[in-house]
Amino acid sequence: MKFLDHIGLLHVAWLPNQFVRIMRLTIIMITMALMQVSAAGLAQKVSLHFKNVPLEQVLIAVKQQTAYNFVYTEDVIAKAKRVSINLKDADLKDALMLCFENQPLNFTIEQGTIVIKAKEPSFLDKVVKRLTAIDVRGIVVDEKGAPLVGATVKVKGTEKKVVTNGRGEFYLQYVEEKVVLVISYLGYESIEMTAAKDLGTIRLKLVEGKLDEVEVVSTGYQNIPKERATGSFTLLDNELLNRRVSTNILDRIDGIASGVIFNKGIIDGSNKSDITIHGRSTIFANPNPLIVLDNFPYDGDLSNINPNDIESVTILKDAAAASIWGVRAGNGVIVLTTKKGKRDSKPILDFNSNLSVTEKPDLWYPYQMTSSEYIELEKFLYDKGRYKNALLNNTVVVSPAVTLMDKLKKNLLTTDQYNEEISKLQQHDVKRDLNKYFYRNPFRQQYNLNISGGNATQKYYLSGGFDRNNNSQVANNYNRYTINANNTFNFFKDKLELFTGLTLTKSKSENMIAGAVYTPYTPYDQLADKNGNALAIVNVATLGVGYTDALGTDQLLDWHYRPMDERTPNNVTNAINYRLLTGISYKVLPSLKAELNYQHEEGSTDRTLTNSKNSYYTRDMINRFTSVNQATGVVTRIIPHNDIVNQWLDNYRSQYMRLQLNFQKKIAGRHDVNAIAGYEFKDYSLDNTNQTYYGYDPVTKSNVNGTIDPLKSYPLYYNTSLTQRIGTSPSQSGSIDRAISFYANASYGYDRKYILSLSARKDETNIFGVKSNQKGVPLWSAGLSWIISNEAFYHLDYFSDLKLRATYGYNGNVDKTLSAYLTSQIAGSTLIGTDFSQVVNPPNPSLGWEKVKNINFGLDFSTKGNWLRGSIDYYVKNGEDLIGESPIAPQTGVLVFKGNSANTQTRGIDFTANIKALSVAQFRWDINALYSYSRDKVTEYKKLPAINGDLVFENYRNPLVGYPYYSVFAFKYAGLNNSGNPLGYLDGETSTDYASIYNSLNRDDVKFMGSGTPTSFGSIRNTFFYKDWSLSLNIIFKLGYYFQRTNVFTGDVYSYRQGDYGLRWKNPGDESRTRIPSLVYPADGLRGILYQGSDDLVEKGDHIRLQDIRISYKLTNNLAKYLPFKSLEAYSYVNNIGILWRANKKGIDPDAGTQLIPSAKSISVGLNATF
């Protein structure tokens, strides 16, 4: 028999009746017992005496008087009303009923625990709430107005939320009015807002402390999340790049990137680059970093790049970061990424404009003689007979003061007349004329407009820019037009992607012709009379004024030189550059993508120097080759009276093609595998043509070159015994550079703790190849990083993020001026008119690439709350097989040849720190500090040691082993003897044997002063924020280096361009007050060189400079929504403000030295608007 019964939820199908009865009785007894316990508990007595206190305080008192515990959440108890109650020995249940009366809460008793919950609203409450609720709309965007897709909008304290769509829009229904909404997005600051029907546009700001979560560094081959990178990178975002106002993108990097220094005051021929990354690693080869634009090397002029089109800049500094670029990465890599549109975005229009005004150059900065001092010097030389021969030949130039001295001596002037004329010269300063007539305040304008957006399958970006610069010299102008367009199309659910891009730049540069940008012959040259009319002057390229005055203009053209008449912009350079990119990628598998990318770039520069028929250059050339038949008076002009035009045409073309496979897969949630492999082809060609057209007619475009024999030497008018050729033959040159490359890069990450990266590349080129094993060079790198803060054992609260990095590998470099083959070039012509050549490159079958071994250790850190985050890097760069000069047997016909024979080493430290110094209410103070230390030395160089004179003045041409490549050496100086002659050291003894001192090889006679480039440098940038205002100040410093200042006593001809003339030795005994030599005639060049190269003239270059200040104001969201734009920023920027401290006591700006003029202060105002 089958029995069926139910006991609660217990399903019984077979129990006998007796057992069922026993179970029923037991359950009834247990239930009665529990009811008794509950009743007894609720019957407990409590006493409560409170007035207007939080409910939670009352509940604590109840717990203390009973055995009950309370369970509730903070959100629930926060809704409770304050309580006033006065009970003595009341039942617990009655007390609780009074406490929860009129509360939005209720309670239940569950086995000795009182659970408190929010009351369920009644049907009527629900109806009222629905009728009073509102629907909230809005758009969430970033700081530039781009929509943030997937941002969260949540009702605070509830689970009610929505996310934004592809246009950044959200729609939240049935929200109580005036509740608080929380808007958040990964990597951005969350904000809270009171609910309203239309919240308009909501802008979120990037959180600096969370940038690591969203930062992606670009190597030009792939984008790598910064967390996964093992190499040493510096990433500069768009906001930081736009902090500075400049038409050149690299100018905007100066002073804001660690490990990167901009070299100022570069000496011609020193092979010094404008930018150095992690120190120097070559001697004679290319010293410049590789510039990459949108994943391909950029072969054009950097001035063609519009900085407003650049989204970010990534600087690759070590082997793991840069070795993917192989032989072009030895000096570091700067990767420029242009702006792109965003998918599912409405059209966004950005407009940027700024105006800049700069001070005139400080022409009085160079320390020079005054007009009076120079006339005194000329009088000394005149009395010594320095100008005797020149005065006997009126075609030779002599200065106006010397002419007056000679006239006085010949009684052609009275003493009073002489003194009057000399006084006029002494009181005149040519710099006043230059400042008035040749220089102006530079004025620069910059305009840029771009539109971007996209839909579900496409994104686009289009921009146009215009720059106009009126430079400091009158008639010197620069205009630039730029267009940049790119599109990305996606097909087949994002499996197939097609990219196209086009950039076009057209520029025009106008300058005064070379004859007008002159160096004054004397400090008292007078360029104009009091009415501003041009006056004739002389210089080293003109003939004597006595000769030209006597010629007249009957047979010859006016042969006077008037710089004021030459101020025309006849040196015009027109340049055009275009770059076409296209690429296609296809997802073969979810983890595997194939890419094919191609770039075609072409550029041409047409420089035309038009010397009009009235210019001094043309008049001089026509007169120079004019002949006059004295019998008949017939004038014959080899060059007719028309323009002379010089034209330089440069054309380049480059092509890059890249086929690449990308693999990315996460395995089992803990293993991250990323890899790329590819093949790359490069083809670059350059053609140069130079032609001079004589007798050029601008109307008919004709010239007379065909009537001039380029091999004939024509007599000169002013001295028929002298002859000269008139070059009419065009000059042409060209080069072709082809290379193929194979590369691969892979990284493996485990459990977000350990990351291993490997990279390899092989480059082959047509420059080498005499030996097959020199055709290509394999370069590689390996990197390892350990994210310590992700370890289970890591419990340091102070540093929330800690990451160690280590990399090792090789980059490369190449000297394209060399070849493995015998090469020569035309060096001139023989007396019979035939050309001859000279060997510039002897054959070298062993010629190969330079290699740079990189070792880098790094630590990345950030503190809890991200008030401090930064990094420390220590690196060693060993340059191996560098191009250097080596001796060779003279029987070969060559004494020295260049080959892979030198080595160098550079060690350094990079430190960065980003500090949130203060944050109070609406005020914030941020500090960004950069410090770099770098010291290099030559470790192997085979050329015979240089003499001390070369070591002092040009050691970079023959560097000394064990010292920096740019070293500052100086002759040890012992002051003056009692005749005012400088004393040097020869074999440890004081000496005046200047030739022996100069040619000595004894290194004890010279002193190593230090490095010629800063060994420590960096910046401290302070930024203050208050509401919508921001103020930023950047202070830069350069330390640990020296420079040589110039002095008057430099050679056998004295110059006015140095200023210690008045401090020289004049009389016996002066050697106790001065160390500046006396004047002697004839001048002893080596005597002057000893003093010029002495340690007395070496100064420390250390200085601290306030580089710039930027202040800006951004309209708030509430105000901007009533205007026709989404955002608006007005800003002002002041650059080159001044030096705060310098080590030298001479007032010299180390960036300019004693001969250059420091960069002038400028102020800019600008406007950024987003529509």
The answer on 327 and 223 residing in a single domain is yes
pLDDT of residue 733: 86
Dihedral of alpha carbons 489, 491, 493, 494, sign: negative
Name residue, tokens 């019984």.
12
Peptide bond into 945 cis (omega under 30): no
Please give the DSSP secondary-structure letter assigned to residue 546.
Answer: H
Asked if the structure places residue 296 within a domain, the reply is yes
Q: Which single residue is written with the structure tokens 């070591």?
A: 951
How many domains does the chain divide into? Answer: 3
**Which pTM value belongs to this model?**
0.80
- Looking at residue 372, its pLDDT comes to 95
3-state secondary structure 1000-1060: CCCHHHEEEEEECCCCEEEEEEEEEEECCEEEEEEEEEEECCEEECCCCCCCCCCCCCCCC
Q: What is the pLDDT of residue 346?
A: 86
| Cβ neighbours for 871, distance < 8 A, ≥ 6 positions apart | 858, 859, 860, 861, 910, 911, 912
> CA neighbours within 13 Å on the CB side: how many for 402?
27
Answer yes or no: is 992 within a domain: no
182, part of any domain: yes
CA atoms within 13 A on the CB side of 1040: 12
Numbers of helices and strands, H then E, in the chain: 19, 57
Q: Are residues 218 and 334 in the same domain?
A: yes
- Listed in sequence order, the DSSP H helices in 716-866 are none
User: CA torsion sign, 801 to 144 to 927 to 1030?
Assistant: negative
**With 0-12 CB in 10 A as exposed, 13-18 as middle and 19+ as buried, what is 890?**
exposed
Written as one string, the DSSP assignment of 879-932 is EEEEEEEEE--GGGT-SEEEEEEEEEEEEEEEEEEEEEEEEETTEEEEEEEEEE
Largest CA distance in the chain: 161
> Which H or E element spans position 27?
helix 17-42
CA distance 55 to 98: 11
**List of the chain residues with pLDDT < 50:** 1-16, 18-20, 22-23, 25-41, 208-214, 515-516, 772-773, 1050-1051
The SS3 of residue 472 is coil
Q: Do 293 and 272 share a structural domain?
A: yes
Query: What is the C-alpha to C-alpha distance for residues 230 and 210, in angstroms, rounded to an integer?
Result: 19
CA–CA separation, 781 and 744 (whole Å): 11
Beta-bridged to residue 913, according to DSSP, are: 870, 929
Q: What's the half-sphere exposure (Cβ side, CA atoms, 13 Å) at 460?
A: 13
Residue 251: give its domain's CATH number: 2.170.130.10
In a domain, 569, yes or no: no
Q: Please state, in angstroms and rounded to a whole number, the distance separating the CA atoms of residues 457 and 489.
A: 6
Q: Are residues 202 and 241 in the same domain?
A: no
Residues 107 and 221 both lie in one domain = no
Q: pLDDT of 581-600, one tens digit each?
A: 999 999 999 999 999 999 99
Within this chain, do residues 272 and 312 fall inside the same structural domain, yes or no? yes
Instruction: Please state, in angstroms and rounded to a whole number, the distance separating the CA atoms of residues 212 and 140.
Output: 22
CATH number at residue 110: 3.55.50.30
| Strand ranges in 534-670 using DSSP code E only, listed in sequence order | 571-589, 592-611, 626-628, 635-637, 643-667
**What range does the domain containing 284 cover?**
210-343
Structure-token match 């550059």, residue found: 577
Last residue of a domain, one of 299, 317, 343: 343
Same domain, residue pair 219 and 277: yes
Same domain, 189 and 223: no
Determine the straight-line distance between the first and last CA of the chain, rounded to whole angstroms: 86
Instruction: For residue 305, tell me if it sits in a domain.
Output: yes
Q: Which of 311, 343, 375 is the last residue of a domain?
A: 343
What integer pLDDT is reported at residue 775 of this predicted model?
62
pLDDT of residue 625: 94
To the nearest 10 degrees (0 to 180), the angle between helices 17-42 and 92-99 is: 70
CB-CB contact of 234 with 258 (8 Å): yes
Kindly report the CATH number assigned to the domain that includes residue 186.
Answer: 2.60.40.1120
Structure-token pair, residue 28: 């009834």
Gyration radius (Cα) of the chain, Å = 41
Structure tokens belonging to residue 982: 């400088």
* 108 shares its domain with 127: no
Locate tokens 């060690």: which residue?
A: 907
Angle at 721 between CA 718 and CA 724, to 5 degrees: 80
One domain, residues 11 and 81 = yes
215 plus 339 within the same structural domain: yes
Distance between CA atoms of residues 264 and 270, nearest Å:
13
In the DSSP assignment, the letter for residue 445 is: E
Give, in order, the Cα–Cα distances in Å from 233 to each of 220, 225, 226, 252, 799. Answer: 13, 11, 9, 17, 21
**pLDDT, position 1048:** 61
Q: What are the phi and psi torsion angles at 34 (to 5°)?
A: -65, -40
Of 98, 118, 138, the position where a domain reaches its end is 118
Helix (H, G, I), strand (E, B) or coil at 1161: coil
**What backbone phi and psi angles, to 5 degrees, belong to 1170?**
-120, 130
Which residues are paired to 1011 by β-bridges?
967
The CA-atom distances, in angstroms, between 763 and each of 277, 658, 743, 1121 are 22, 14, 9, 55
Q: Dihedral of the CA atoms 95, 99, 104, 105 (nearest 10)?
A: -50
Is 1110 a member of any domain? no
Query: The tokens of 873 are what?
Result: 């890097």
Give the pLDDT score at 827.
67
Residue 1086 lies in a domain: no
Instruction: Measure the CA–CA gap between 1000 and 988, rounded to whole angstroms.
Output: 11
Residue 963, helix vs strand vs coil: coil
Residue 859 and residue 804 in contact, taking contact as beta carbons nearer than 8 Å: yes
The reply to whether 75 falls in a domain is yes
Q: List, in order, residues 6 or more apart from 1013 with CB less than 8 Å away.
A: 261, 263, 276, 280, 964, 966, 1041
Peptide bond into 1082 cis (omega under 30): yes
* Domain identity same for 243 and 324: yes
